[in-house]
A and B are shown apart, each in its own frame.
Chain A
Amino acid sequence: MIKQLSWKVGGQQGEGIDSTGEIFSTALNRLGYHLYGYRHFSSRIKGGHSNTKIRISIRPIRAVSDDLDVLVAFDQETIDLNAHELHDRGVILADAKFKPVVPEGVSARLFSVPFTKIAQDVGLAQMKNMVAVGASSALLGLPLEAFQGVIEEKFSRKGQQVVDKNMEAIQSGVDHVLKETGGMIEDLKLEPSDGKKRLYMIGNDAIALGAIAAGARLMAAYPITPSSEIMEYLIKQLSKFGGTVVQTEDEIAAISMVLGANYGGVRALTASAGPGLSLMTEAIGLAGMTETPAVIVDTQRGGPSTGLPTKQEQSDINAMLYSTHGEIPKIVIAPSTAEECFYDTIQAFNLADRYQCPVIILSDLALSLGKQTVEPLDYDRISIDRGNLITDSEGLKQLENSELFKRYEWTEDGVSSRVLPGVKNGLHHVTGVEHDEVGRPSENPLNRQRMVEKRLKKLEQGIDFEHPVHVDAEHEEADLLIVGIGSTRGVIHEGMERLQADGVTVNHLHIRQLLPFPAETVKKEMAKAKKVVVVENNATGQLASQLKLHVGMADKISHVGKYDGNPFLPSEIYNQCKELLVHGHV
Chain B
Amino acid sequence: MATFKEFRNKVKPNWCPGCGDFSVLAAMQRAFANQGLEPEDVTLVSGIGCSGRISGYMNAYGFHGIHGRALPIAQGLKLANRDLTVVAAGGDGDGFAIGMSHTIHAIRRNVDITYIVMDNQVYGLTKGQTSPRSEMGFKTKSTPKGAIEATIAPLEMALTAGAGFVAQAFSSDLKQMTRLIEEGLNHKGFSLINVYSPCVTYNKINTYDWFKENLTNLEQDESYDPSDRMMAMQKLMENNGLVTGLIYQNKERKSYEEMISGFREEPLAKQDLKLPKEDFDQLVAEFA
Residue ranges of A at the interface with B (Cβ–Cβ < 8 Å): 29-30, 197-201, 205, 209, 212-215, 217-218, 220, 237, 239-244, 246, 248-250, 252-254, 256-268, 282-283, 286, 290, 374, 376-377, 379, 382, 384, 391, 402, 404, 420-433, 439-441
Chain A residue nearest to B285 in the complex (CB)? A199
What residues on B are CB-neighbors of A205 within 8 Å? 287
What residues on B are CB-neighbors of A261 within 8 Å? 76-77, 79-80, 268
Q: How far is the CB of A307 from chain B (nearest CB, A)?
A: 24
A256 and B275 form a contact (CB under 8 A) = no
B274 and A257 form a contact (CB under 8 A) = no
What residues on B are CB-neighbors of A283 within 8 Å? 66, 69
Instruction: Say whether, besides A256-B76, A263-B77, A241 and B275 are in contact (CB < 8 Å).
Output: yes
B62 and A384 form a contact (CB under 8 A) = no
A205 to B287, CA, bound (A): 9
Residue ranges of B at the interface with A (Cβ–Cβ < 8 Å): 6, 8-11, 38-41, 43, 45, 48, 55-56, 59-66, 69, 71-81, 83-84, 101-102, 104-105, 109, 260-264, 266-271, 273-275, 277, 279-281, 283-284, 287-288
* A interface majority secondary structure: mixed
Which of A217, A250, A259, A263 is within 8 Å of B101, CB to CB? A250
Which of A200, A384, A402 is within 8 Å of B274, CB to CB? A384
Which of A220, A374, A422, A427 is within 8 Å of B76, CB to CB? A220
Instruction: Say whether, besides A257-B73, A422-B40, A429-B56, A209 and B284 are in contact (CB < 8 Å).
Output: yes
A264 and B60 form a contact (CB under 8 A) = no
A252 to B74, CA, bound (A): 13
A286 and B66 form a contact (CB under 8 A) = yes
Q: How far is the CB of B189 from chain A (nearest CB, A)?
A: 16
Instruction: Say whether, besides A201-B287, A249-B102, A260 and B74 are in contact (CB < 8 Å).
Output: yes
8 additional contacts (CB under 8 A) given A239-B261, A254-B72, A427-B39 = A197-B288, A201-B287, A244-B260, A248-B105, A256-B69, A260-B73, A263-B63, A427-B61
A30 and B288 form a contact (CB under 8 A) = yes
A432 and B73 form a contact (CB under 8 A) = no
A254 to B73, CA, bound (A): 9
B43 and A421 form a contact (CB under 8 A) = yes
23 contacts between A and B (CB under 8 A): A29-B288, A212-B283, A213-B280, A218-B268, A220-B72, A241-B279, A243-B268, A249-B105, A252-B72, A257-B72, A260-B75, A261-B80, A263-B76, A265-B269, A267-B273, A374-B287, A402-B10, A422-B41, A422-B83, A426-B61, A427-B40, A430-B64, A432-B65
A249 and B273 form a contact (CB under 8 A) = no
Q: How far is the CB of B107 from chain A (nearest CB, A)?
A: 11
Instruction: Say whether, besides A260-B80, A426-B40, A266 and B260 are in contact (CB < 8 Å).
Output: no
Q: How far is the CB of A269 from chain B (nearest CB, A)?
A: 11
Chain B residue nearest to A382 in the complex (CB)? B275
A402 and B9 form a contact (CB under 8 A) = yes
Instruction: Say whether, besides A241-B279, A242-B264, A260-B73, A429 and B55 are in contact (CB < 8 Å).
Output: yes
Chain A residue nearest to B277 in the complex (CB)? A379
B287 and A256 form a contact (CB under 8 A) = no
A258 and B284 form a contact (CB under 8 A) = no
A254 to B55, CA, bound (A): 22
Instruction: Say whether, besides A241-B275, A259-B73, A424 and B40 are in contact (CB < 8 Å).
Output: yes
Q: How far is the CB of B264 from chain A (nearest CB, A)?
A: 4
B102 and A215 form a contact (CB under 8 A) = no
What residues on B are CB-neighbors of A242 within 8 Å? 262-264, 266, 268, 271
Q: How far is the CB of A35 from chain B (nearest CB, A)?
A: 12
What residues on B are CB-neighbors of A237 within 8 Å? 283
Which of B62, B72, B109 is within 8 Å of A430, CB to CB? B62
Q: How far is the CB of B185 from chain A (nearest CB, A)?
A: 16
B275 and A266 form a contact (CB under 8 A) = no
Q: How far is the CB of B143 from chain A (nearest CB, A)?
A: 26
Chain B residue nearest to A342 in the complex (CB)? B284
Q: How far is the CB of B275 from chain A (nearest CB, A)?
A: 5
A217 to B284, CA, bound (A): 18
Chain B residue nearest to A286 in the complex (CB)? B66
B62 and A429 form a contact (CB under 8 A) = yes
A402 to B63, CA, bound (A): 17
Chain A residue nearest to B43 in the complex (CB)? A421
Chain A residue nearest to B59 in the complex (CB)? A402
B76 and A259 form a contact (CB under 8 A) = yes
What residues on B are CB-neighbors of A428 within 8 Å? 61
What residues on A are CB-neighbors of B288 within 8 Å? 29-30, 197-200
What residues on A are CB-neighbors of B9 within 8 Å? 402, 404
What residues on B are CB-neighbors of A426 within 8 Å? 40, 61
A258 to B263, CA, bound (A): 17
Q: How far is the CB of A162 from chain B (nearest CB, A)?
A: 21
Give the interface centre of A29, A261, A282 by most chain B CB atoms within 10 Å. Answer: A261
Q: How far is the CB of B249 from chain A (nearest CB, A)?
A: 24
Q: How far is the CB of B24 from chain A (nearest CB, A)?
A: 18
A420 and B76 form a contact (CB under 8 A) = no
Instruction: Say whether, besides A283-B66, A377-B284, A427-B40, A421 and B77 are in contact (CB < 8 Å).
Output: yes
What residues on A are CB-neighbors of B260 within 8 Å? 239, 244
A209 to B268, CA, bound (A): 18
Q: How far is the CB of B65 from chain A (nearest CB, A)?
A: 6
Of all A-B residue pairs in the complex, the 10 with the closest CB atoms, nearest first, are A215-B273, A260-B76, A264-B80, A265-B269, A239-B262, A257-B76, A256-B72, A431-B64, A260-B73, A261-B76
B287 and A200 form a contact (CB under 8 A) = yes
A214 to B69, CA, bound (A): 27
A440 and B11 form a contact (CB under 8 A) = yes
B287 and A199 form a contact (CB under 8 A) = yes
Instruction: Say whether, besides A199-B288, A205-B287, A217-B268, A248 and B72 are in contact (CB < 8 Å).
Output: yes
Which of A214, A250, A439 is within 8 Å of B273, CB to CB? A214
What residues on A are CB-neighbors of B64 within 8 Å? 429-433
B284 and A264 form a contact (CB under 8 A) = no
B284 and A252 form a contact (CB under 8 A) = no
A282 to B47, CA, bound (A): 14
A429 to B84, CA, bound (A): 16
A323 to B193, CA, bound (A): 36
Give the interface centre of A256, A376, A431, A440 by most chain B CB atoms within 10 Å. Answer: A256
Q: How far is the CB of A206 from chain B (nearest CB, A)?
A: 9
What residues on A are CB-neighbors of B71 within 8 Å? 253
Which of B66, B261, B263 is within 8 Å of A282, CB to CB? B66
What residues on A are CB-neighbors of B62 within 8 Å? 429-431, 439
Q: How far is the CB of A147 from chain B (nearest CB, A)?
A: 15
A258 to B76, CA, bound (A): 6
Q: How far is the CB of A265 from chain B (nearest CB, A)?
A: 3
Which of A213, A254, A266, A376 is within 8 Å of B80, CB to CB? A266
What residues on A are CB-neighbors of B69 within 8 Å? 252-253, 256, 283
Which of A214, A264, A429 is within 8 Å of B81, CB to CB? A264
B73 and A199 form a contact (CB under 8 A) = no
Q: How far is the CB of A396 from chain B (nearest CB, A)?
A: 11
What residues on A are CB-neighbors of B266 within 8 Å? 242
A256 and B73 form a contact (CB under 8 A) = yes
Which of B6, B39, B80, B275 is within 8 Å of A268, CB to CB? B80
A139 to B284, CA, bound (A): 31
Chain B residue nearest to A250 in the complex (CB)? B101
Q: How far is the CB of B157 from chain A (nearest CB, A)?
A: 15
Give the interface centre of B75, B76, B102, B284 by most chain A CB atoms within 10 Å. Answer: B76
A213 and B275 form a contact (CB under 8 A) = yes
A431 to B64, CA, bound (A): 4
A562 to B89, CA, bound (A): 48
Which of A30, A199, A239, A422 is within 8 Å of B284, CB to CB? A199
What residues on B are CB-neighbors of A244 within 8 Å? 79, 260, 262-263
What residues on B are CB-neighbors of A432 within 8 Å? 48, 64-66
A253 to B284, CA, bound (A): 31
